[in-house]
Amino acid sequence: MLFKDIKGQEKAIAFLRSAIGQDRVAHAYIFHGLDGIGKKATALAFAKTLNCLEAGPEACMEACGECLSCRKIERGSHPDVITIQPDGAFIRIKEIRGLQEQMMFRPAEGRKRVFIILEAERMNSAAANALLKTLEEPTGSNILVLVTARPHQLPLTVLSRCQRIKFQPLRSELMINILQECFSVDAQMSSTLAAISGGSLGKALEMKDNDFAARREELIDKLALISTPLDFFPVLAGMGNDRDLILEGLETMKTYFRDILVFSETGDDRQVFNRDRIEVIGKAAGRMSKQELLNSMKVINAAVRALEQNANRQLLLEMMMFRLFRTGLKATAARA
């Protein structure tokens, strides 16, 4: 993949192209933004452009994609483009020490040696401290690209020594077009995936391939029937204990309340994300006040933040559901 193939990140790519064209490439970057929006692909396209044998970075600030260097980077076999990622839960100091050893020598083949550190926030403290020494003593032929969805979890000392490039969530219209044209997803599901994924194409594709549609329908049906605290437990059981599936379920819940609010306020089903469940959403509309719906979404957002900080999953979900009940969740259930 080349710069021109990456969708929705025009500002970040223009910045990198400008740096290459002006020969002002920094020694270290942080690419930050949601997972699944093109950060890794951009890092690899950056490495290709810096090392392309045909076009050359000064010529057009775009790699050719066909030369030996570009093809090696695409295959992951270029000796001067090294990807580092967590070993288990962490990136450990041995990985950073290996990086430092390679930096002592000139690039083997390319103009620049590029290290791409994925999920950089998962460096343990020893690894982060070792990396800091490298950032304080940069070398011209080596470039570091730290890729992260959680820059706030990186040490401030690391953040302050890297040039930060923000990657934006993909626009809903762009997501829908990509899903329909490139992955043959139907219009309704494309719209739903674009909404629930929050602008992450990677997340949308993952949900498309793992029975997301069936889980979404089941969860919405259960939410619509809640009228007592005991009704929570089938919802909790259905969300399981897998972190990613729980986050997916929380996003579905958030869009459910959002849709009820939008339909209550506008009566326009074209603005509803879960349009195929408009009958359920229409019945719930009007049974919760605007403030109750907004409070419910705040409760879910707080649960997402806690989950990202490794809170106890079962306890977190139980507390969230009882808070939702207090905010008025029971009011969405149809009355006999």
For the stretch 99-141, pLDDT in tens is 999 999 999 999 999 999 999 999 999 999 999 989 988 888 9
pLDDT (mean) for 213-229 = 85
What does the mean pLDDT of the chain come to? 89
Describe the strand order of the beta sheet including 142-148 as a list of residue ranges: 81-84, 113-117, 142-148, 28-32, 163-166
pLDDT at residue 271 in the model = 84
For the stretch 238-276, pLDDT in tens is 888 888 889 889 989 999 999 999 999 998 888 888 888
Q: Which domains does the chain have, with CATH numbers?
A: 3-166 (3.40.50.300), 211-332 (1.20.272.10)
For the stretch 272-295, pLDDT in tens is 888 888 999 998 887 888 998 999
- Check if the beta carbon of residue 99 is closer than 8 Å to that of residue 134: yes
pLDDT confidence tier of residue 328, bands split at 50, 70 and 90: confident
- Check if the beta carbon of residue 236 is closer than 8 Å to that of residue 317: yes
pTM > 0.85: no
Which DSSP helix (H) or strand (E) runs through 257?
helix 243-266
- Separation between Cα atoms, residue 147 and residue 254, nearest integer Å: 27
